[in-house]
């Protein structure tokens, strides 16, 4: 029966082509209710995301010894550092599931941000007492970027915003875009461009400061950074990477560096850093030998300032043997005054052996190394060019108890250092951990009339107050003939919310 086209009775006032208005009035609410029920019963997909919020508050205090015209003075440092982090993930759902589709990893889109705020109290906060290089009273955006992984069928990765990057032992922080294209046969190419972080700029991390330009006009110059890279990502147990990174800035060259005919106050563009990186690692099948090599070439100084060679071999489940060679020459920004000084570049060769016993709960290790320093002609024989180093250690891991013991020796540069360090941690209950550390170090330095013996200790613990809420307390002190006491107290409150 058609509810909208009922033929009325012959004597009904309704016309033959129209449905009865009275019938329509009663039927429409029923149709609406039926439509609502069907809408609720039919499943439909929705969009959602996950997030995680973390907070960390650190408070600590100690004294700094300062030498000035009035002699030795002490500055009281009372600092509070606060961190606030946010992670938003699962912003993209391509229907591939957690393990991807047809062997392809799932596409991911997420956002991460980390804020840090530092402030000083006590005598150190007074302008006349402060040390400019140690002032970090500012709000820092440590991280703040949108990241995408395995986009466009797994071909594209990107990061946009404030980010960190690393090549060998070099760390970079910049605001910009990094794009990586994943090619067949495990090949990849990537590129990045942005503005280098500098503590002189608003909201930049205080830890990123151009060495040797403090107070100089170039310290707050706008510095674009750019780079390209390519290589192989784990193809038949081999990984290879070649990268280039450069940084430029526009600043006044100064009186001594100004080209002829150029006013020293005129700002010019110049390249501050140009570095080329190469690294390769391989794992030989069956015998599990792992050779690796890393190189860093500085185009400004036309020399290799970082060379790393390594070889490691596992023998069964218990034995590891490692050999390594390191050539290190510090490099700095092109505007830095440190480029005029020789900062003890060195070559070092070392060997390490590791033995695991008692079902790998106990790990014993020993290391011996030889280091040769490069001294300039002005130093002559005042610096001992050769140095030996050595150490033995042990590590215990068994459930709630962890402990480490390290003994070490280091010679060279006119000094001999011999010491030991012992650390332990014990989970008393599910909510309470305690830890402690003892250290004893003796230094025989030609610049001191007698040996310098330093004793230090730490004691502290962590209490999990509630789910996602933790409290850390730590007290440490160091005693020597230079410092009768160097007491430091640290308190940390951690909050984490992940619904």
Would you place residue 25 in the very low, low, confident or very high pLDDT band (cuts 50, 70, 90)?
very low
Residue 24 has pLDDT above 50, yes or no: no
What is the model's pLDDT at position 165? Answer: 86
What is the model's pLDDT at position 176? Answer: 94
Quick check: helix, strand or coil at residue 305?
strand
Q: What's the Cα-to-Cα distance from 234 to each of 231, 281, 300, 311, rounded to whole Å?
A: 10, 9, 32, 18
Would you place residue 198 in the very low, low, confident or very high pLDDT band (cuts 50, 70, 90)?
confident
Residue 415 has pLDDT above 90, yes or no: no
Q: Which residue has the higher pLDDT, 420 or 385?
A: 420
Rounded Cα gap, residues 329 and 332, in angstroms = 10
What is the model's pLDDT at position 256? Answer: 52
| Low-confidence winner among 40-49, 390-399, 404-413 (lowest mean pLDDT) | 40-49
Residue 360 has pLDDT above 70, yes or no: yes
Rounded Cα gap, residues 209 and 226, in angstroms = 18
Would you place residue 18 in the very low, low, confident or very high pLDDT band (cuts 50, 70, 90)?
very low
> What integer best gives the mean pLDDT of the chain?
81
Greatest mean pLDDT among 263-277, 329-343, 478-492:
478-492
| Low-confidence winner among 3-7, 283-287, 358-362, 395-399 (lowest mean pLDDT) | 3-7
Quote the tokens at residue 302: 């036309």
What is the model's pLDDT at position 331? Answer: 79
Residues contacting 126, CB < 8 A, separation 6+ = none
Q: What's the Cα-to-Cα distance from 324 to each of 351, 391, 392, rounded to whole Å?
A: 6, 15, 17
Residues contacting 392, CB < 8 A, separation 6+ = 364, 365, 366, 367, 406, 407
| Low-confidence winner among 35-49, 110-124, 229-243, 341-355 (lowest mean pLDDT) | 35-49
Rounded Cα gap, residues 198 and 211, in angstroms = 11
Q: Which residue has the higher pLDDT, 213 or 255?
A: 213
- Kindly report the number of other CB atoms within 10 A of residue 223's CB atom: 23
The pLDDT of 10-19, averaged and rounded, is 44
The pLDDT of 321-339, averaged and rounded, is 85
Residue 392 has pLDDT above 70, yes or no: yes
Structure pTM?
Answer: 0.77
What is the model's pLDDT at position 279? Answer: 96
Rounded Cα gap, residues 404 and 402, in angstroms = 7
Would you place residue 425 in the very low, low, confident or very high pLDDT band (cuts 50, 70, 90)?
very high
Nearest to 143 by CA among 123, 165, 124, 158: 165
Would you place residue 153 in the very low, low, confident or very high pLDDT band (cuts 50, 70, 90)?
confident
Rounded Cα gap, residues 61 and 371, in angstroms = 37
Scanning the structure block, which residue is given the tokens 């700094």? 64
| Low-confidence winner among 34-38, 245-249, 321-325, 328-332 (lowest mean pLDDT) | 34-38
The pLDDT of 425-449, averaged and rounded, is 91
What is the model's pLDDT at position 1? Answer: 38
Percent of the chain with pLDDT over 90: 43
108-121 vs 432-445, strand pairing mode: unpaired
Would you place residue 148 in the very low, low, confident or very high pLDDT band (cuts 50, 70, 90)?
very high
The pLDDT of 312-340, averaged and rounded, is 87
- Taking a C-beta distance cutoff of 8 angstroms, is the pair 390, 367 a contact? yes
Residue 164 has pLDDT above 50, yes or no: yes
Rounded Cα gap, residues 408 and 164, in angstroms = 33
137: Cα within 13 Å, side-chain hemisphere: 14
What is the model's pLDDT at position 8? Answer: 42
Residues 73-83 have pLDDT tens digits of: 777 778 888 99
Residue 186 has pLDDT above 90, yes or no: yes
Would you place residue 226 in the very low, low, confident or very high pLDDT band (cuts 50, 70, 90)?
very high
Residue 291 has pLDDT above 50, yes or no: yes
Would you place residue 322 in the very low, low, confident or very high pLDDT band (cuts 50, 70, 90)?
very high
Q: Which domains can be identified in the chain, with CATH numbers?
A: 1-43 (no CATH), 342-499 (2.40.160.10)
What is the model's pLDDT at position 335? Answer: 72
Would you place residue 20 in the very low, low, confident or very high pLDDT band (cuts 50, 70, 90)?
very low
Residues contacting 246, CB < 8 A, separation 6+ = 225, 226, 227, 271, 273, 274, 275
């Amino acid at each position: 029966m058609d509810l909208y086209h009922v033929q009325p009775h012959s004597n009904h006032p309704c016309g033959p082509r129209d449905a009865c208005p009275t019938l329509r009035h009663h039927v429409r609410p029923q149709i609406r209710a039926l439509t609502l029920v069907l809408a609720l019963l039919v499943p439909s997909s929705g969009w959602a995301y996950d997030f995680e919020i973390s907070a960390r508050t650190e408070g600590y205090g100690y004294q700094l010894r300062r030498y000035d015209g009035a002699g030795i003075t002490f500055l009281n440092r009372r600092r509070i550092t606060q961190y606030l982090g946010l992670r938003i993930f699962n912003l993209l759902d391509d229907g591939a599931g957690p393990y991807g589709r047809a062997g392809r990893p799932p596409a991911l889109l997420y956002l991460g941000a980390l804020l840090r705020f530092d402030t000083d109290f006590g005598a150190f906060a007074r302008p006349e007492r402060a040390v400019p290089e140690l002032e970090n009273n500012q709000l820092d955006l440590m991280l703040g970027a949108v990241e995408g992984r395995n986009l466009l069928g797994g071909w594209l990765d990107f990061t946009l915003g404030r980010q960190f990057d690393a090549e060998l032992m070099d760390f970079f922080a910049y605001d910009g875009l990094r794009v990586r294209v994943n090619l067949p046969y495990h090949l990849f190419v990537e590129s990045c461009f942005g503005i280098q972080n500098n503590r002189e700029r608003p909201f930049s991390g205080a830890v990123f400061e151009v060495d040797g330009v403090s107070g100089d006009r170039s310290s707050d110059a706008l510095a674009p950074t750019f780079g390209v890279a390519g290589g192989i990502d784990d193809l038949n147990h081999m990984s290879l990477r070649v990268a280039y990174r450069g940084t430029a800035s526009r600043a006044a060259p100064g009186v001594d560096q100004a080209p002829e005919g150029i006013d020293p106050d005129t700002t010019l563009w110049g390249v501050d850093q140009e570095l080329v990186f190469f690294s390769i690692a391989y794992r030989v099948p069956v015998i599990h030998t792992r050779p690796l090599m890393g190189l860093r070439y500085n185009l400004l100084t036309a020399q290799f300032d970082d060379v790393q060679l390594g070889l490691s071999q596992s023998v069964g489940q218990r034995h590891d043997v490692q050999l390594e060679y390191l050539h290190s020459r510090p490099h700095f920004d092109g505007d830095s005054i440190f480029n005029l000084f020789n900062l003890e570049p060195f070559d070092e060769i070392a060997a390490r052996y590791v033995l695991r016993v008692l079902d790998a709960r106990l790990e014993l290790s020993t290391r011996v190394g030889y280091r040769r320093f490069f001294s300039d002609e002005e130093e002559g024989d005042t610096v001992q060019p050769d140095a030996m180093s050595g150490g033995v250690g042990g590590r215990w891991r068994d459930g709630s108890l962890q402990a480490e013991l390290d003994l070490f020796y280091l010679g060279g540069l006119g000094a001999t250092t011999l010491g030991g360090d012992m650390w332990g941690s014990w989970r008393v209950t599910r909510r309470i951990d305690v830890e402690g550390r003892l250290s004893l170090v003796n230094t025989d330095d030609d610049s001191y009339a007698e040996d310098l013996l330093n004793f230090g200790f730490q004691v502290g613990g962590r209490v999990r107050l509630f789910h996602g809420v933790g409290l850390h307390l730590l007290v440490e002190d160091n005693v020597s003939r230079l410092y009768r006491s160097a007491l430091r107290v640290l308190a940390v409150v951690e909050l984490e919310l992940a619904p």
